[in-house]
Amino acid sequence: MKKVQKTYTAEFKREAVRLAQTSGKPIAQIARELGISDTSIHQWRKELATHEAEAFPGSGHQTIQEEELRRLKRELEVTRQERDILKKALIVFSKT
């Protein structure tokens, strides 16, 4: 049987981290109350601390910079393909 990974919204993650920081309760207790693992809260807290506004970007787990890099790589590949086509066309037309 395939294990289904639960996904949580960025708001849920931020709220869970806020509860862990402000409630005074142990993280394990908060995790049990929310129905998640305590390691999830630890990971979310670490990600929020390192990335702040860019934390929890959504599907694909890409930050703004990673998405921009991916877009630029796609654009570069298209440009290379266009260049190669033009080179081949130049060879064909220069033979006539």
Nearest to 60 by CA among 48, 71, 49: 71
Secondary-structure class of domain 1-58 per CATH = mainly alpha
- Position 47 scores a pLDDT of 86
Give the residue-averaged pLDDT of 32-50.
89
Distance of alpha carbon 91 from alpha carbon 81, whole angstroms: 16
Average pLDDT of the chain, as a whole number: 86
Give the residue-averaged pLDDT of 11-37.
90
Question: Do residues 16 and 5 lie in contact, with contact meaning Cβ atoms separated by under 8 Å?
Answer: no
Lowest-confidence segment of 39-43, 63-67, 83-87, 91-95 by average pLDDT: 63-67
Question: Do residues 74 and 80 lie in contact, with contact meaning Cβ atoms separated by under 8 Å?
Answer: no
Give the residue-averaged pLDDT of 28-35.
91
